[in-house]
Structures are given as C-alpha cells and as structure tokens.
Amino acid sequence: MTDKQAEGRVPGVVGGVARDGALLWGEGVGTADVARPGEPPTVDQQFLIASNSKTFTAVAVMALRDEGKLDLDDTLDRFVPECGHTGLTVRQMLAHASGMQREPVSDVWETMEQPDRSELVEGFAQAERVLRPHHRWHYSNLVYAMLGEVIARLDGREWFDSIKARILDPLGMTRTTLGLQLDPVAGYYVPPFHDVPVPEPTFDFAAMAACGGLASTARDLALWSSFVANPIVEVLHPDTFEEMLQPQIMADRERWTLAFGLGFMLHRKGERFFVGHTGGMPGHISGLFTHRESGTGGVVLMNSTSAPDPTAFAVQLAEEVISNEPKATVPWLPGTTVPEEYADIIGRWYSEGAPFDFVVRAGRLEAHIPGSPAHKPPSVFVKEGDDLYRTESGRETGELLRITRDSAGRVTQMNWATYLVTRQPLAFGEWLRDTTK
C-alpha cells in the first residue's frame, strides 16, 4: 500500500479488507493532516466517501419500491410534477441510463455553492437531456440528487434522515454522517510541479447530498461491505438486492469490464466479479468493492483530489486476501431423506438433445448440466403445486417444470420452460412420432 501512496503522491491513505462484518485488516500510511506530519490516518477517521453515497441512495429507493411507494418504471414527474421532464424513469436514473446532463445547471464546481431542494428542482427543469435514454451510459450526479428528492417526498423526511433510519442505524454504522463531523482527515490537492499539498475547501452539500454527501470510515465501510455480500431483510430483502445487481447498461463498452446495475458498479477482474462504487470530492477519493462469493471487500480512502485509480486499488487489496487467505470451505453434510415426490425424478434426463442430471441436494431438487464449468450454478426448483415446480435460480430462472406421470404414478416425461424432457435422448418430433403410432 505504501508504494501506491508514494507513487500517487497522496498525503494519506487508509486501506482495509473486510470480511464477515469486520475489518480483517486495516492500515493507514502517510499523514492525515500535513500540520501533524508523521501521524497517518486511521481506520476510524472520516473521509468523504463521495459517490459511494449513491449506493445508499439506491438501496433506499429499492426499499421504497418494495413498500409499494414507487415502481422502477415510474417516471420522475409522478413524484416531482414540476421536474420539467417526461419519460424519465426511476430505473434509468438508478443506472445512469437516462441521458440527463451530468451536473446542475449552475457551475457548482466553480462556485462551490450547491443548490437547495427548491433550487435543485427548479434547475432540473432547465437541464438538458443530452442523450437518448439507454443510448449509452452517461454518469449523472444531477439525477441522483433528484432521487434524493424523491426519497424525501415519499418518506416524509430529509434524505439523510431516511438513510440514517433505514440503513445506517440498522447496520450500526455510527461513524457515517452527512459531511465530515467525526475526527476527519484534511483534504488536499498535490500540484504536479511541486510537492506542497494545497488544502481543499469543504462546503455544504445541500440538495446534492444524495449523490455524494456522506462521510465514513474504513471500519464503518466494512459493515457496508458485509451488507453487500450478505444483505439483511431489516435493510433490504436479499432478492431485491440481487435485482440491483442485474446489469442494466455497459459502462466499459471497449473491454466489458464495467457495467452498472441499479446503483452499483459491476466490475469484472479476470474470473472474479466485484460489486461496489468509487467516489471523488475535492480532497477525497474512495473505493469500496466486494467479492460476494467470498464475502471479501477491499476499501481504500485517500485524502487527495488526484489519486491512484480507486477501483483497481480496492480490488487489488481484496484479491490479496481472497488468493492468500481463502475463506474456509463449508463442510459437506450428508442428507437424511429423499422426498418421495423426487424419487422417480432424480437421475439423467435429456432435453433438446442434451443431458441434464436431476439431483437432490439438502432436500432441494436441482438440475445440473454434466461437464458444466464450476462457476455455473445448477438450476434450483421450488414447489408450486402438485408435480409443478418453479425454477428459482440458475438456467431458466422463473420458468416452470411440469411433471407428467402414468396411472401407476411413474414419471413419463417432464416439460421445462415448455421443452420436452425425457429419459432417452430424442430428436425434435421423435417423441411425437412414438406416441402417435
């Protein structure tokens, strides 16, 4: 980590690796405040996490959706009638696929004066939709600020009050606040032609807080990484969180290493897949990315406007632990019984000329493709009625599996997503010819 700090000429860096709801490792190098040289930042000091705040906003939006207060395909003008734009959906806004301009209409990063709620909405009506929706990924702080307005109107309280009650308090994130409040580091810009850091200003985020106003610590972000790895229903139902991680639009069209879900960056590094976000504010750069399969998250916080790539940095920290300290394999436990209804189903079947092995694991009916790569999960079925099952996950998720039995109760065929499934490999039409003889 010291080499990144030195090469990037960052005054202070905190790096950490989270697992199982806590920091497995955390360390600070450099200086938290150049007025106190030799004192590195700590895992409990606050940095602005900037656009990592968007992931909290997105989770709150999805919780409101689950409560029936909005639909992802609702348009913004349903909740903010005076917004001045029609056809702009919540889904598009969450995924940066709306085509709206990046920032508020005034030059907020020149004046450092952010709009209040009424100014935000008034300015949004004047903002441009610079691209067609879904035409290409186009990052927009402005639309996330408007999502904060939607949260405030639907939840009947200010954006941060909603985030605190819905997310921070249930997760025990006591050192995550609106703006820098608790033993913060100082933020700097290090010019290219000398090595004397220039202090960066702080400001009131006002209505732009929903897109980047949170401050946090490495220790608190370990709790957020744990939620990302294993969501709890007190904050958001795990099924809803899985929905958030479905790719909505490709951000890296050249290499396909970065897509956006609903509020989260979906980053692929080799064969591994990381979920998270980056953030940048004057004097503060952050990155938090979690490998959900191993429950391992890498976090990096830097007190400089210009700094090493936070995505690569955070992922590198996580991968060091994933590779060198892999999570212990859960021991296999023998089953006790095979449900009677599965007894005549288990074994090899064929559909569309290809084999499928129907098996029972931990009392669940699953379908495996022989020779399938280890990273491809089996299909898992849940009972929906007599001899009727719904594919819960894996291949053909959402589709029905229907079982047909003869008068003696033996399974004669199955239909999965309507395709015929038989004990013997058959060509299309061969079953029909046999049954009509």
Closest among 6, 19, 12 to 300, alpha carbons compared: 12
What's the predicted TM-score (pTM) here?
0.93
User: Quick one: angle between helices 141-155 and 117-124, nearest 10?
Assistant: 120
Distances (CA, A) of 125 to 40, 76, 99, 121, 158: 45, 11, 14, 7, 21
State residue 406's pLDDT score: 95
Q: If we measure between CA atoms, which residue out of 165, 138, 180, 136 comes closest to residue 56?
A: 165
Structure tokens at 20: 């199982």
Residues of the chain with CATH 2.40.128.50: 340-435
In contact, 54 and 213? CB cutoff 8 Å: no
Residues of the chain with CATH 3.40.710.10: 2-324
User: What pLDDT does residue 327 have?
Assistant: 84
CATH architecture assignment, domain 2-324: 3-Layer(aba) Sandwich (3.40)
Write out the two tokens for 63.
């919780």
Q: Which residues contact 330 (CB under 8 A, 6 or more apart)?
A: none
Cα dihedral across residues 154, 179, 210, 268: positive or negative: negative
The number of angstroms, rounded, from the C-alpha of 343 to the middle of its chain's C-alpha atoms is: 39
10-residue mean pLDDT series, the chain (437 residues): 92 96 95 94 98 98 98 98 96 98 91 94 96 96 98 98 98 98 97 95 95 98 98 97 97 95 97 97 98 97 96 97 89 89 96 96 95 93 97 96 96 97 90 60
User: What sign has the CA pseudo-torsion 322, 327, 332, 333?
Assistant: negative
Report the 10 Å Cβ neighbour count for 370: 9
Task: Determine contact, residues 307/200, Cβ cutoff 8 Å.
Answer: no
pLDDT in the model for residue 433: 62
Of 313, 284, 143, nearest in space to 216 by CA = 284
The CA distance from 351 to 82, in Å, is 54
Q: Which CATH architecture group holds 340-435?
A: Beta Barrel (2.40)
Q: What is the pLDDT of residue 434?
A: 61
Q: Distance between CA atoms of 281 and 303, rounded to whole angstroms?
A: 10
